[in-house]
């Protein structure tokens, strides 16, 4: 059986969860910075490819509008937290507080996406679309990771 878009997205989701757990647990400033940079690239590549190859098709269907708008709003909130975190020194308490807020927001978004958005989109997309979108998502995600994200 071919991989579908949800399988591809869950791989990145699991990587994001792992990076976030490590990010909020580490105390070494240098390691924090390295983990943050890896997470930033992962989030940017994932968001961009997901928006292109899952959210865009969902916006084309009336039944996908509300869920997609909500998910896009959450991506924007995550982007703002990442930008805020990038401005802080990884050795400070403010950095750890912001990293925890980012972790909470990303975990919330991933749970909501997997438990609600995937079900909505699963009713809209055909099996062939789900397979094709997975391939296109993976290609774009890998390209964006190689170039260090979208920024």
Summarize pLDDT for 44-59 with one digit per residue, the tens.
Answer: 999 999 999 999 999 9
CA torsion 25→92→105→12, rounded to 10°? Answer: -50
Looking at the domain assignment, is residue 151 inside a domain?
A: no
CB 38 within 8 A of CB 84: no
Question: How far apart are the C-alpha atoms of 86 and 62, rounded to whole Å?
Answer: 37
Looking at the domain assignment, is residue 33 inside a domain?
A: yes
CB 16 within 8 A of CB 46: yes
In the predicted structure, residue 151 carries a pLDDT above the cut 80: no
More confident residue, 139 or 149: 139
Domain that holds residue 129: 5-146
In the predicted structure, residue 136 carries a pLDDT above the cut 70: yes
In the predicted structure, residue 12 carries a pLDDT above the cut 70: yes
Looking at the domain assignment, is residue 29 inside a domain?
A: yes
Looking at the domain assignment, is residue 35 inside a domain?
A: yes
Instruction: Give me the CATH number covering residue 49.
Output: 1.20.120.520
In the predicted structure, residue 116 carries a pLDDT above the cut 60: yes
Mean pLDDT across 93-122 = 96
Q: For the chain, what is the domain count?
A: 1
């Amino acid at each position: 059986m071919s991989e579908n878009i949800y399988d591809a997205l869950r791989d990145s989701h699991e990587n994001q969860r792992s990076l976030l757990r490590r990010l909020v647990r580490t105390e070494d400033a240098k390691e924090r910075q390295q983990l943050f940079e890896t997470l930033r690239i992962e989030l940017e590549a994932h968001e961009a490819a997901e928006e292109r190859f899952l959210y865009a098709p969902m916006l084309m269907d009336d039944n996908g509008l509300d869920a997609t708008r909500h998910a896009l709003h959450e991506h924007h909130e995550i982007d703002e937290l990442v930008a805020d975190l990038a401005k802080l020194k990884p050795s400070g308490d403010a950095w750890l507080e912001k990293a925890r807020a980012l972790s909470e927001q990303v975990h919330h978004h991933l749970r909501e996406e997997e438990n609600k958005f995937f079900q909505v989109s699963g009713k809209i997309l055909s099996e062939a679309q789900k397979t094709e979108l997975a391939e296109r998502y993976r290609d774009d995600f890998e390209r964006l990771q190689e170039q260090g994200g979208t920024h």
